[in-house]
Amino acid sequence: MSDTHASPPGDDAGEVVRYEELGPIARITLNRPRARNAIDAAVSAGLEAAIDRLDASDGVWAAVLAAAPTPDRPVFCAGADLKAIDAGEARGIHTKKGGFAGFVFRERVKPIVACVDGLATAGGCEIVLACDVVVASTRSAFGMAEVKRNLVANAGGLFRLPRAVGPSVAMEMALTGEPLPARRAYELGLVSRLVEPHEAMATALSIARTIAGNGPLSVQATRRIVAAAFSEDDETLTRRGYDASRLMFSTEDTVEGVRAFIEKRAPRWQGR
């Protein structure tokens, strides 16, 4: 099933963000290929709604965020739709709940794997940096191109990028606006898996399914601690780890996980 958001005139017909549930995982797709999957108000509303649905869906434990194939060169997302902004339609590209694209500063629960097959630039790169795991094809690239239009990146890229690739490379990317090839991004740690273009979606879905096969409450607690690794001190992180571990022992899923191990069967997670 999917949520539908009407496209403004000139956009691709149909849904601008597609949401599908595939068993224990969801696939969310940016769907404005003729606009290079650029973000306008409708996409921001659609992506925010998709994350709302993901976090509210019982039995869905992880997601893949992808983009529709573009007609010319491969582009995951070209960032903010500058044509819409120039036409005075900037309102709504940033939402109260999620910031840019309704996503980059969103408080969310379930892990998201980015599936990148093409250029992710400006806000498109910032969307990728807000995900938890990144799968990229060999023809992908990542850029912070705002300076080329006398703009400043304000969707988290200027502080998340140095954490992902190191301060020197991030500074070069941010000041030159030139993209970083996927292979180099993989070597530096921004990309978790580097694959051929025809393998990107299958790999991202496989990772999401592996995540969804683990205890969901444990996954969610673990994700929160890893995500805080660069923003909190070791003492705080240690305390959070102990607190989360103690909490797990009081859950039904931990009882189920132990029983499943003893009985040599797959666990049946309930998220409680």
Phi, psi of 38 (to 5 degrees): -70, 155
What SS3 state is found at 64? strand
Catalytic entry in 20, 146, 252, 263: 146
Alpha carbon distance 164, 161 (integer Å): 5
DSSP conformation letters of 208-246: HHHHHTS-HHHHHHHHHHHHTTTTS-HHHHHHHHHHHHH
**HEC readout, 158-196:** HHHHHHHHCHHHHHHHHHHCCCEEHHHHHHHCCCCEEEC
What count of other Cβ atoms lies within 10 Å of the Cβ of residue 156?
19
Alpha carbon distance 236, 9 (integer Å): 50
Phi, psi of 157 (to 5 degrees): -65, -35
Catalytic entry in 15, 89, 126, 232: 126
The two structure tokens encoding residue 267: 């666990």
48 noted as active-site residue? no
126 noted as active-site residue? yes
What SS3 state is found at 272? coil
Active centre residues (catalytic): 126, 146
